[in-house]
Chains A and B, each alone.
Chain A
Amino acid sequence: MSGTPIANEIRRLRFDHGEMTQQALADACRVTRQTIIALEAGRYAPSLELAFRIARTFGVGVEDVFRWAR
């Protein structure tokens, strides 16, 4: 399950939103902090639903958070 072609800007967006903690983002998206850690490390590709939840939490579009890296 390691390695995904989907890169993301979650870490940068967290810091742009008042240094939001991983736990705060996890609570807002109703996932575990471990999932946020795995996402930021590029070890996990989220479902479409979770991708939308994360984007909505930051108030941006999905493509502003995730991009195809390869």
Chain B
Amino acid sequence: MSGRRESDANANAVAFGERFAAGQAVGLSCLALVCWSMVVNGGRVFPLVCCSLVLLLSLGFRRRAAWDAGTTRRAAEDERDARFVSLGDRAFRIFATVLVAVYALAFAMPGVRAWLLAEGLRPAGVPLAGLMLAHAAAHAVVWRAYVRDRQ
């Protein structure tokens, strides 16, 4: 009976949004690590440019991935996915606000300011890595929401 087959397949029914959030959470975390090691600690320009470009391009990743997933007549996302994404948006606002506030406060502390200004690209690399972590955390929140909803 088709209903039984569908029930059996339900356990494997992973939404596009969940796959995307998981991929982005892992990918952006790795990119933040690369940024931290090569820009913040290494002071290299090329990784800074690459990380910045990837972050800019990431604004279009979802649309591109949704287009890939929805090339047939089927919908890749709907109103339920929008609810999960809104959780991620809220989490990103919180993480980004905390990040910028802490970064600004760090400049008020002489020891931390000296460390930040000791390397030419460090003042740019730290917020860039932090922003990528904020994105990754927001995607992780969406991913967790999908997983909790399936259980």
Contact = CB atoms under 8 A, between A and B. Distances in A.
B33 interface: no
Contacts of A26: 74-75
A31 interface: yes
A50 B80 CA distance: 10
Interface in A9-45: 11, 14-15, 19, 21-23, 26-27, 30-35, 37-38, 43-44
**Which 5 residue pairs spanning A and B have beta carbons closest together?**
A31-B78, A34-B15, A35-B80, A30-B75, A19-B2
A15 B80 contact: no
By secondary structure, the B interface counts as: helix
Contact of A27 (B74, B76, B84): B74
A1 B149 contact: yes
B75 A31 contact: yes
A15 B1 CA distance: 10
Given A19-B2, A19-B3, A21-B2, A32 B149 contact: no
Give the size category of A's interface with B.
20 to 34
B83 to A, nearest CB: 7
Given A1-B83, A19-B1, A32 B77 contact: yes
B151 to A, nearest CB: 8
A27 B78 CA distance: 11
Given A1-B149, A2-B149, A15-B3, A38 B74 contact: no
